[in-house]
Amino acid sequence: MDEQYFIDSANLTEAQRKRKHTLENDPASRRSHMEFLPGMEQIDPTLRETVLAEMNAYDPAQYTALDVQRALSHADERCSLEEFKALLSPAAAPFLEQMAQKASLVTQRHFGNTVYLFTPLYIANYCENYCVYCGFNCYNDIRRMQLTPEQIEHEMQVIAESGMEEILILTGESRAKSSIEYIGEACKLARKYFRLVGIEIYPVNTDEYRYLHECGVDYVTVFQETYDADRYEQLHLAGHKRVFPYRFEAQERALLGGMRGIACSALLGLSDFRKDALATGLHACLLQKKYPHAEISLSCPRLRPIVNNDKIRPQDVGEKELCQVLCAYRMFLPFAGITVSSRESASFRNGIVKIAATKISAGVSTGIGDHEEKYTGKQDGESGDGQFEIDDSRSLSRMYTDLEQEGLQPVLNEYLYV
Amino acid sequence: MEDTLKLGGREFHARFILGSGKYSLSLIEAAVQYAGAEIITLAVRRANTQEHENILDYIPKGVTLLPNTSGARNAQEAVRIARLARELGCGDFVKIEIMRDTKYLLPDNAETIKATEILAKEGFVVMPYMYPDLNAARDLVNAGAASVMPLAAPIGSNKGLATRDFIQILIDEIDLPVIVDAGIGRPSQACEAMEMGAAAVMCNTALATAGDLPAMAEAFRKAVEAGRSAYLSGLGRVLERGGAPSDTLTGFLHD
């Protein structure tokens, strides 16, 4: 069923190709995705179990226009879990404009007209996992690269010179290549050049999150990809990422490790996007309830084409569906930050920041070590391939002006490391 | 005697305190002018920026800065942010905001009292944002606060005087200026708070979400002035039912 994702390379050895095909075709050859590996910390599973039980019981088809109208009828901001489900259902599609109007008011009340800007910095694209849809997957034939501390600092200087004050550090998911210490050193460097440092790396244990926090990180993003455990099993065929519950509990471990904020996300288009959106929102909601001081945000990426496979599409999640999800997120979690990445087009991002999104990226490259080339046109060395193709490639200054012209106030930083 | 608001040895004529978040930097000057504001709050964390634009550059000269400690989750963090504000050149006024809840942004009174005590000793003019609790307000007075700033409703909610009766108790019992902060959504609510005897009103979201920000700033200024005048002139009594005849029925009785 997932043939559209599978691609072989001539550079794979016979043994590798055989192993890959076995993983793809024989479920019995794959390790259990629900069992923790040695060294993976286990915490109280209640939150995970609650989210999954709600998601599994959710049947989007059973909601009607009446349920949607009821959800939209409140004068105040109250939006129950049942109403959230109605807003995510197909029955809400004809009410998209009304949802956007209401979401926009809620966003304004909580965030005014401010929009936060950040840029991601990929420091390594080595990966030990076989996630069939991802450009970094270990069987994909791409140019692999890991930046040295000197190269990282250079990239950071180039980005900082553009005026950016918030950075998100990303790696492929390889503990062997990109150790916690390697990432920690990158974060210490980032603190020199940026006011706010976030990470999006492989999930780690509480004590490792604490170490990274001490290196200057306060925000942790982890994409669950899909909350549907069975579907997750079919898409993440090998590597530590395959362990579904360990990934699910990453945000909670990050908060236990002292991080100020976390982001939850499903990669829409991998499974039933309505159920994934429900689980994402509820995951964030329950984390805030359990850790009331935590700053909560949501990301909402859709599938994108990758190097060697330009056929990957978000399938049934069009811009209208994405907009519906974002409006529902906003009404269910009025206080949550919502990030929309450069996977989406400039026109979509210009529109959605007036409705629900509060943070967007600018000056983006998903490749390794190519910011200088992107920012200055100067080519002075090799670079590693990107994780996926971006759509909106606007620079920081262009984004800043565009937002101002839309009547919005760009904010480069509103954060203090205390 | 001139009616002024006294805070930290300074006297202010305006009783409308303006917030600076949630709207375009380019509108701050107009907002200050139309609101007639003499004090403007700003988040220290928002001023913690350098490369592009800094909110501090948009605040007109002559306006007193009231930096707030938003982002602080406990007394210790609030103290550090307040000291940073002083280093950034924001002066000695500080509004303490300590929140341990990112959903409602309700203030933590216990931690706020601790921070007030530390900062007051360091010479700050401490204006704590608080949940309107009489015991906590008394503790804040003892800790050296220059005013108390009880919330009318959750920040950004525009819900008005949801805590009306408890704010009235603070006004009646606390000798410091009681400044109503957060939740005021319309000029009429600001006016009502002033009629109750509040020393001042502070607003941000109500302006930020208005169709015409400067015009709404002016509306708030007028409402606050009207409410203050009504309070000073002594409001007439309120009859719960019926009317009050000006001639009494027992006027014929002589002894």
pLDDT per residue over B150-186, tens digit each? 999 998 888 899 999 999 999 999 999 999 999 999 9
Rounded to whole angstroms, the Cα distance separating B29 from A86 reads 44
For residue A296, the chain B residues in CB contact (below 8 A) are 102
The confidence score (pLDDT) of residue B177 equals 96
Residue in chain A nearest B107 by alpha carbon: A293
As a whole number, the mean pLDDT across chain A is 91
> Domain extents for chain B?
5-233
User: Is the pLDDT higher at B87 or at B187?
Assistant: B187
A82 lies in some domain = no
- Residue among B25, B100, B209 minimizing CB distance to A109: B209
**What's the mean pLDDT in A116-143?**
88
Q: Mark yes or no for CB contact A412/B71 under 8 Å.
A: no
CB of A22 within 8 Å of a chain B CB? The answer is no
Q: Give Cα B77 to chain centroid, integer Å.
A: 22
**What's the mean pLDDT in B115-132?**
96
The confidence score (pLDDT) of residue B46 equals 79
Task: Tally Cβ neighbours within 10 Å of residue B158.
Answer: 19
The confidence score (pLDDT) of residue B117 equals 97
The confidence score (pLDDT) of residue B240 equals 65
Q: Mark yes or no for CB contact A335/B99 under 8 Å.
A: no
- Per cent of chain B over pLDDT 90 is 58
CB of B44 within 8 Å of a chain A CB? The answer is yes
Per-residue confidence at A386, pLDDT binned at 50, 70, 90? Answer: confident
CB of A164 within 8 Å of a chain B CB? The answer is yes
Structural domain boundaries, residue A190: 3-49+97-411
Residue in chain B nearest A409 by alpha carbon: B24
pLDDT in tens, A199-232: 999 999 999 999 999 999 999 999 999 999 999 9
For residue A113, the chain B residues in CB contact (below 8 A) are 22-24, 208
Per-residue confidence at B51, pLDDT binned at 50, 70, 90? Answer: low
Q: Residue A363: left (phi > 0), alpha (psi -120 to 50), or beta?
A: left
Which residues are bridge partners to A116 per DSSP? A359, A411
CB of B103 within 8 Å of a chain A CB? The answer is yes
The confidence score (pLDDT) of residue A376 equals 67
What does each C-alpha distance from A150 to A132, A179, A217, A271, B235 come to in angstroms?
A: 32, 17, 20, 40, 71
The confidence score (pLDDT) of residue B250 equals 76
CB of A128 within 8 Å of a chain B CB? The answer is no
Per-residue confidence at A383, pLDDT binned at 50, 70, 90? Answer: confident
Q: Mark yes or no for CB contact A109/B157 under 8 Å.
A: yes
Q: Give Cα A229 to chain centroid, integer Å.
A: 18
pLDDT in tens, A349-366: 999 999 999 999 998 888
pLDDT in tens, A321-339: 999 999 999 999 999 999 9
Per-residue confidence at A377, pLDDT binned at 50, 70, 90? Answer: low
For residue B57, the chain A residues in CB contact (below 8 A) are none
User: Which CATH number among 3.40.50.300, 3.40.50.2300, 3.20.20.70, 3.30.450.20 corresponds to the domain B5-233?
Assistant: 3.20.20.70
Annotated active-site residue B95? The verdict is yes
A58 lies in some domain = no
- Residue among A77, A113, A335 minimizing CB distance to B24: A113
Task: Tally Cβ neighbours within 10 Å of residue A50.
Answer: 13
- Per cent of chain B over pLDDT 70 is 94
The confidence score (pLDDT) of residue B116 equals 97
- Residue among B71, B102, B208 minimizing CB distance to A296: B102
- Per cent of chain A over pLDDT 90 is 68
CB of A401 within 8 Å of a chain B CB? The answer is no
DSSP assignment string, chain B: ----EEETTEEES--EEE--SSS-GGGHHHHHHHHT-SEEEEEHHHH---SS--GGGGSPTTPEEEEE-TTB-SHHHHHHHHHHHHHTT--SEEEE-BBS-TTT--B-HHHHHHHHHHHHHTT-EEEEEE---HHHHHHHHHHT-S-BEEBSSSTT-----TTHHHHHHHHHH--S-BEEES---SHHHHHHHHHTT-SEEEESHHHHTSSSHHHHHHHHHHHHHHHHHHHHH-PPP--SSS---SS-TTTT---
Q: Is the pLDDT of residue A248 over 80?
A: yes
Interface test with B, best of A396, A416, A417 (most B CBs within 10 A): A416
Task: Please state the ipTM of this predicted complex.
Answer: 0.78
CB of A397 within 8 Å of a chain B CB? The answer is no
Q: Mark yes or no for CB contact A108/B208 under 8 Å.
A: yes
Q: Is the pLDDT of residue B241 over 80?
A: no
The shortest C-alpha distance from A416 to chain B (Å) reads 5
The shortest C-alpha distance from A152 to chain B (Å) reads 20
Edge-to-edge strand list for the sheet holding B39-43: B149-150, B125-130, B93-96, B64-68, B39-43, B16-18, B200-203, B179-181
The confidence score (pLDDT) of residue A374 equals 66
CB of B138 within 8 Å of a chain A CB? The answer is no
Rounded to whole angstroms, the Cα distance separating A315 from A135 reads 18
Q: Is the pLDDT of residue B187 over 70?
A: yes
A238 lies in some domain = yes
Q: Reduced to 3 states, what is the DSSP secondary structure of residue A261?
A: strand
| Cβ contact B221:B34 at 8 Å | yes
Residue in chain A nearest B104 by alpha carbon: A335
**What's the mean pLDDT in A12-22?**
88
A373 lies in some domain = yes
**What's the mean pLDDT in A29-41?**
95
The shortest C-alpha distance from B155 to chain A (Å) reads 8
CB of A113 within 8 Å of a chain B CB? The answer is yes
Q: Mark yes or no for CB contact A416/B102 under 8 Å.
A: no
The confidence score (pLDDT) of residue A384 equals 81
Name the catalytic one among B22, B95, B114, B121.
B95
In 3D space, the residue among A286, A287, A261, A264 whose CA is nearest the CA of residue A277 turns out to be: A264
| Cβ contact A367:A384 at 8 Å | yes
Per-residue confidence at B11, pLDDT binned at 50, 70, 90? Answer: very high
**What's the mean pLDDT in B4-32?**
87
The confidence score (pLDDT) of residue A315 equals 76
The confidence score (pLDDT) of residue A11 equals 84
Q: Is the pLDDT of residue B227 over 90?
A: yes
CB of B255 within 8 Å of a chain A CB? The answer is no
Residue in chain B nearest A286 by alpha carbon: B103
pLDDT in tens, A39-51: 999 999 999 999 9
Interface test with B, best of A409, A412, A415 (most B CBs within 10 A): A409
| Least confident residue range of A242-256, B17-31, B152-166 | B17-31
- Residue among A76, A410, A413 minimizing CB distance to B48: A413
Q: How many A×B Cβ pairs under 8 Å?
A: 88
Rounded to whole angstroms, the Cα distance separating A155 from A296 reads 28
Q: Is the pLDDT of residue B85 over 70?
A: yes
The confidence score (pLDDT) of residue A321 equals 95
Beta strands in A319-413 (DSSP E): 337-340, 359-361, 409-411
A160 lies in some domain = yes
Domain count, chain A: 1
The shortest C-alpha distance from A232 to chain B (Å) reads 31
pLDDT in tens, A86-127: 999 999 999 999 999 999 999 998 999 999 999 999 999 889
**What's the mean pLDDT in B240-251?**
69
The confidence score (pLDDT) of residue A1 equals 58
The confidence score (pLDDT) of residue B237 equals 67
